[in-house]
Amino acid sequence: MTEAQVLQPLKTWSHLAKRRRKPSEYEIVSANLHYNNRDPEAPYETSPDVFMNRWYKQNTFGSALRHADWNAFRDPDEVIYRTYNLMQDGQETYVFGLFDQFNAREHDVALDAAWANRLAALFAPARYLFHTLQMASAYVGQMSPASTITNCNYFQMADSFRWLSHVAYRTVELGRAFPDAGFGRDERAHWENDAAWQGFRELTERALTTWDWGEAIVVLSLLVKPAVEEAVLRGLGESGRHNGDTLLGMLTDAWLVDAARHRRWTAAFIAQALETEGNAETIRGWIAKWEPLADRAIDAFCAELPDVVDAAARGKAATRTFRQSLGL
Amino acid sequence: MALLNRMDWYNLARTTNWTPAYVTEDELFPPELSGGFGLPATAWEGYDEPYKQTYPEYVKVQREKDAGAYSVKAALERSQIFENADPGWKSVMKAHYGAIARGEYAAASAEARMMRFSKAPGMRNMATLGCMDEIRHGQIQLFFPHEHVSKDRQMDWAYKAYDTNEWAMIAARHFFDDIMMTRDAISVSIMLTFSFETGFTNMQFLGLAADAAEAGDHTFANLISSIQTDESRHAQIGGPALKVLIENGLKDEAQKRVDIAVWTAWKLFSVLTGPIMDYYTPLEHRKQSFKEFMEEWIVAQFERALTDLGLDLPWYWDKFIADLNDTHHGMHMGVYYWRPTVWWNPAAGVTPEERNWLEQKYPGWNDTWGKCWDVIIDNVVDGNMALTFPETLPMVCNMCQLPIIGTPGNGWNVQDYPLEYNGRLYHFGSDVDRWVFQQDPARYAGHLNVVDRFLAGMIQPMDLSGALQYMNIAPGECGDDAHNYAWAETYRAMRELKLAS
């Protein structure tokens, strides 16, 4: 064996070494981490036809959304675990600082009882809505064909849990100020029965049972989340400001910081998807199929926000503007 | 108080089950993904995680943990610990990172399965944090070894190992894919978190951290003990699920999953952790023997955890305890013999002092394993190096994917445990491995172990060079004796002394 045939140390992982550029910490710890694409017959090292292997073969690798190299995806924010916690610990310090300050100045006591009743019906049940985002992001993450896409979805899952946690926290606080409004007790009933939520309920239940990875990520990122963000985060936040609820508006603004980051990776993802011929039509087909459901969700929720001018129309337009900005 | 206490709102944050209206409960939670065991969602709402943490607490604590681990690394970056480390210790690091880093990353998706598909809302939130933990463990265990890639080509395997058909990686994937990647949410909680993470990760992360600290590798010691603080939280996801199953008359189903996962985890540890603790770690840095670590972290801990829950010890417990004396010695010899096929340099670990230690920790070692090593040592001293490498194929178990081994010496007891299933003959290294197969033959029957692949002509040419090519391991990566056989000098000197007298 000659010396020339002996592999020498490289400057980085072999899979990144082919390029001349020095990889970032993000790339070193995020790129090409899934190993279930080694064998097209058996994503996982068991019988090729066990249920979960068939599931991945059909729903991840058999998805209609195709790209020769999904692993080329890069999160424009290059979020890694370490920086996620740095960033979100700071954000949480801000939000809990708000909770603390507004509590000290007895913000809730100053709220109108009628507004409190609307919060009980329109804000507190968002715990369920955000939980569906948490679940849907977890599914898309575990089915994504590239670890860089997976990570964006897992961080989004954690962000959704963050939003849910804030809602739970505020629900308890509001319940102390308005013990008769049903806070902490009636959310499930509102979520399951109120007209305001049925659009979102149908949209999210159907999105949660969309198993094809390509359709699931498109539906979640381009239809469900924009609808939630425009109607609930922006619409309800605006309504709060009209009703002396400064805290709600600041809270939804804090969530929108997360949502803006989600949209940045979504934009990068769609740009990559559109590199492959046929994907544009596929994605447009999914949008056409799901848009009516997303619109109905916005309509139903915004119908309860009469103090926000043209809430539904503006919300629907904003979701379209977002999709159009991606070339769709 | 201007801020609420955590427990004021914690329960509300995990009150998230609703009755679906536009799809059925089985559509929302498909049984094959959810593992509801026929129990309705309401049965799972009593699930109560013992380790409670909120989102704001999580990001704060984890930020601090990372700050600690990364700053120790930064502070010691110029300390030349790696350069000056004993070659045996470098092998410990290489084996660990290669077999563990991307496996941990994959576990994020197992946690995400629990998050999405468990009917227990408390589990869904804890698995959200568990998923984040596993991203951490994947990323940090890629970042730390990356520092060393430019010094040693084998360090590339910290990343690369999972993409290869290297035999030990087939075994590692077969285990992890079986217990965490291809199971429903509840089974994942039992098999990954309760059965594997409760005891075995303690063993790998705390046991090894003790050795690392002894070896002066504070970066590694600090890293893996920091990881274990996450494991000890999310490992508690499985316990309450077992409780729900037991309360609903499903103890047998629960017990079966525990028994399968504990045994298969043990087999993987016998090849991965046993040799590094008892042979690669320099003698003066060994805190305890592998067996002693196992007795402390696995045996005692499991006996307590299982009894607390009302489960039984696995039916094979006596055999397991007995095997703690033997299996990993055989695995070590196999790895050493087949050293070109691993991405680290196995330390033989058989100097006279080390043999005394082995004899003390494992009475009878010299009469059994020692006899085989005597032959290898003679061949090394005589310069008959070809005889220190294998010429034939081992028998490989169709469950653990590891060689079928026995204890050599006068009590030579190697035995194949065969099973014919659907016209194919399978081989197992023990009756327990065979029992695991029999619990769900369809799950395993279509899999080929590395020798099956060889015999099926998938490895060409059918010799060592073909095998290395199939395993994607090449000179520069292939293992050889960690100390370049320097340890044999003592035996050469002993022989010369004997001849002179």
Is the CB of A35 inside 8 Å of chain B's CB atoms? Answer: yes
Nearest residue to A224 via CA among A199, A189, A241, A246: A199
Contact (CB<8Å) A46/B174? yes
In contact, A273 and A279? CB cutoff 8 Å? yes
Contact (CB<8Å) B181/A44? yes
**Residue type, position A113, single letter:** A
- From residue A128, alpha-carbon distances to A134, A325, B12, B36 in Å are 10, 29, 11, 21
pLDDT for residue A3 is more than 80? no
Instruction: Summarize pLDDT for A68-110 with one digit per residue, the tens.
Output: 999 999 999 999 999 999 999 999 999 999 999 999 999 999 9
> Which of B15, B146, B447 faces A45 most closely, judged by CB atoms?
B447
In contact, A51 and A243? CB cutoff 8 Å? no
Nearest residue to B397 via CA among B115, B161, B201, B174: B174
Contact (CB<8Å) B12/A171? yes
Closest residue in B to A104 (Cα–Cα): B2
**Helix/strand/coil for A306:** coil
State the nearest Cα–Cα gap between B349 and chain A, in angstroms: 26
Residues linked to residue B425 through DSSP beta bridges, in sequence order: B420
Question: Token pair for residue A220?
Answer: 């979640």
From the candidates A16, A51, A82, which should be mutated to test the interface with B, based on the most B CB atoms within 10 A?
A82
- Please state the three-class secondary structure of A210-228 as a single string: CCCHHHHHHHHHHHHHHHH
Within 10 A of A163 (CB to CB), how many other CB atoms are there? 26
Nearest residue to A10 via CA among B482, A2, A20: A20
Nearest residue to B378 via CA among B233, B265, B236, B485: B485
**Helix/strand/coil for B426:** strand
In contact, B37 and B253? CB cutoff 8 Å? yes
State the nearest Cα–Cα gap between B106 and chain A, in angstroms: 7
Instruction: Summarize pLDDT for A212-253 with one digit per residue, the tens.
Output: 999 999 999 999 999 999 999 999 999 999 999 999 999 999
pTM: 0.97
Which residues in chain B have Cβ-Cβ distances shorter than 8 Å to A201? 21-22
**Residue type, position B459, single letter:** I
**Helix/strand/coil for B420:** strand
The percentage of residues in chain A with a pLDDT greater than 90, rounded to a whole number, is 97
Nearest residue to B400 via CA among B490, B267, B283: B267
In contact, B459 and B466? CB cutoff 8 Å? yes
d(CA B119, CA B101): 29
Nearest residue to B211 via CA among B294, B285, B144, B284: B285
Nearest residue to A266 via CA among A163, A143, A155, A149: A149
pLDDT for residue A273 is more than 70? yes
Which residues in chain A have Cβ-Cβ distances shorter than 8 Å to B177? 44-46
Contact (CB<8Å) A201/B22? yes
d(CA A158, CA A160): 5
**Residue type, position A170, single letter:** R
From the candidates A30, A38, A89, which should be mutated to test the interface with B, based on the most B CB atoms within 10 A?
A89
> Which of B23, B106, B128 faces A134 most closely, judged by CB atoms?
B128
Which residues in chain A have Cβ-Cβ distances shorter than 8 Å to B2? 99-101, 103-104
> Which residues of chain A from 96 to 155 reach within 8 Å of chain B, CB to CB?
96, 99-101, 103-104, 127-128, 131, 134-136, 138-139, 141-142, 147, 150-151, 154
Q: What is the pLDDT of residue B297?
A: 86
Q: What is the pLDDT of residue B271?
A: 97
Closest residue in B to A38 (Cα–Cα): B163
In contact, A297 and A310? CB cutoff 8 Å? no
- From residue B353, alpha-carbon distances to A265, B208, B358, B381 in Å are 58, 21, 9, 18
From the candidates A45, A155, A161, A203, which should be mutated to test the interface with B, based on the most B CB atoms within 10 A?
A45
Over its length of 501 residues, how does chain B's per-residue pLDDT go in tens digits?
589 999 999 999 999 999 999 999 999 999 999 998 989 889 999 999 999 999 999 999 999 999 999 999 988 888 888 889 999 999 999 999 999 999 999 999 999 999 999 999 999 999 999 999 999 999 999 999 999 999 999 999 999 999 999 999 999 999 999 999 999 999 999 999 999 998 888 878 888 888 898 888 999 999 999 999 998 899 999 999 999 999 999 999 999 999 999 999 999 999 999 999 999 999 999 999 999 999 998 898 889 999 999 999 999 999 999 999 999 999 999 999 999 999 999 999 999 999 999 999 999 999 999 999 999 999 999 999 999 998 888 999 999 999 999 999 888 889 999 999 999 999 999 999 999 999 999 999 999 999 999 999 999 999 889 999 999 999 999 999 999 999 999 999 999 999 998
pLDDT for residue A2 is more than 60? no
Query: Interior CA angle at B52 toward B48 and B53, to 5°?
Result: 145
Which residues in chain B have Cβ-Cβ distances shorter than 8 Å to A1? 475
> Which of A147, A164, A173 faces B105 most closely, judged by CB atoms?
A147
> Which residues of chain A from 45 to 104 reach within 8 Å of chain B, CB to CB?
45-53, 55, 80-82, 84-86, 88-89, 92, 96, 99-101, 103-104
Contact (CB<8Å) A34/B106? yes
Peptide bond before residue B461 is cis, with ω within 30 degrees of 0: yes
Which residues in chain B have Cβ-Cβ distances shorter than 8 Å to A14? 156, 159-160
d(CA A55, CA B22): 23
pLDDT for residue A192 is more than 80? yes
**Helix/strand/coil for B424:** strand
Within 10 A of A134 (CB to CB), how many other CB atoms are there? 24
Contact (CB<8Å) B447/A47? yes
Contact (CB<8Å) B106/A28? no
Nearest residue to B439 via CA among B187, B186, B185, B118: B187
Contact (CB<8Å) A165/B13? yes
In contact, B88 and B347? CB cutoff 8 Å? yes
In contact, A48 and A42? CB cutoff 8 Å? yes
State the nearest Cα–Cα gap between B496 and chain A, in angstroms: 33
Within 10 A of B357 (CB to CB), how many other CB atoms are there? 17
Which residues in chain A have Cβ-Cβ distances shorter than 8 Å to B426? none
In contact, A12 and B142? CB cutoff 8 Å? no
In contact, B230 and B300? CB cutoff 8 Å? no
Contact (CB<8Å) A47/B15? no
**Residue type, position B93, single letter:** M
In contact, A246 and A174? CB cutoff 8 Å? no
State the nearest Cα–Cα gap between A4 and chain B, in angstroms: 10
State the nearest Cα–Cα gap between B141 and chain A, in angstroms: 8
Alpha carbon A260 to chain centroid, angstroms = 10
Nearest 10 degrees: Cα torsion B275, B279, B284, B285: -20
Mean pLDDT of chain A: 97
Contact (CB<8Å) B62/A209? no
Continuous segment of H or E residues that includes residue B419: strand B419-421
- Please state the three-class secondary structure of B140-198 as a single string: HHHHHHHCCCCCCHHHHHHHHHHHCCCHHHHHHHHHHHHHHHCCCHHHHHHHHHHHHHC
State the nearest Cα–Cα gap between A254 and chain B, in angstroms: 14
Residue identified by tokens 């409960």 is B25
d(CA B271, CA A156): 38
Question: Token pair for residue B61?
Answer: 């604590």
Contact (CB<8Å) A89/B59? yes
DSSP single-letter state for residue B352: H
Look at B200 and A187; give whichever has higher pLDDT: A187
A vs B: CB pairs below 8 A: 242
Contact (CB<8Å) B15/A188? yes
Residues linked to residue B480 through DSSP beta bridges, in sequence order: none
**Helix/strand/coil for B211:** helix
Q: Phi first, then psi: what are they for B419, rounded to 5°?
A: -155, 130
Contact (CB<8Å) B128/A158? yes
State the nearest Cα–Cα gap between A327 and chain B, in angstroms: 31
Question: Token pair for residue B354?
Answer: 């080390």
Contact (CB<8Å) B70/A82? yes
Is the CB of A169 inside 8 Å of chain B's CB atoms? Answer: yes
Asked whether the CA dihedral B164, B170, B172, B174 is positive or negative, the reply is positive
3-state helix, strand, coil in chain A (%, to 5): 70, 0, 30
Question: What is the b/e burial string over B139-172, where b = at least 16 CB atoms within 10 angstroms of the residue's CB?
Answer: bbbbbbbbebbeebbbbbbbbbbbbbbbbbbbbb
Question: Token pair for residue A314?
Answer: 């503006």
State the nearest Cα–Cα gap between B269 and chain A, in angstroms: 18
State the nearest Cα–Cα gap between B153 and chain A, in angstroms: 4
The percentage of residues in chain A with a pLDDT greater than 70, rounded to a whole number, is 99
d(CA B32, CA B62): 33
DSSP single-letter state for residue B501: -
Closest residue in B to A25 (Cα–Cα): B143
